Amino acid sequence: AVLPRIKYGPARYWAILFVFWFLVFGIWASRTRGSHST
């Protein structure tokens, strides 16, 4: 299975970073839209 590789491999950290930056980018985008309401 692929789960063990993600669970114990470096892929886990990549997944965490991906989700983290995805949330940060989402919040930043929402803030930018709210500030610059066109």
> Residue 15's pLDDT is what?
86
Burial group, residue 35, by CB count within 10 angstroms (0-12, 13-18, 19+): exposed
- Tell me the per-residue pLDDT of 3-38, one tens digit each, with 9 for 90 and over: 666 566 677 788 889 999 999 999 999 988 877 655
What pLDDT sits at residue 10?
A: 77
Please tell me the pTM assigned to this model. 0.49
For residue 28, the model assigns a pLDDT of 92
Q: Where are the domains of the chain?
A: 3-35
* Distance separating the N- and C-terminal Cα atoms of the chain: 48
Supply the pLDDT for residue 32: 86
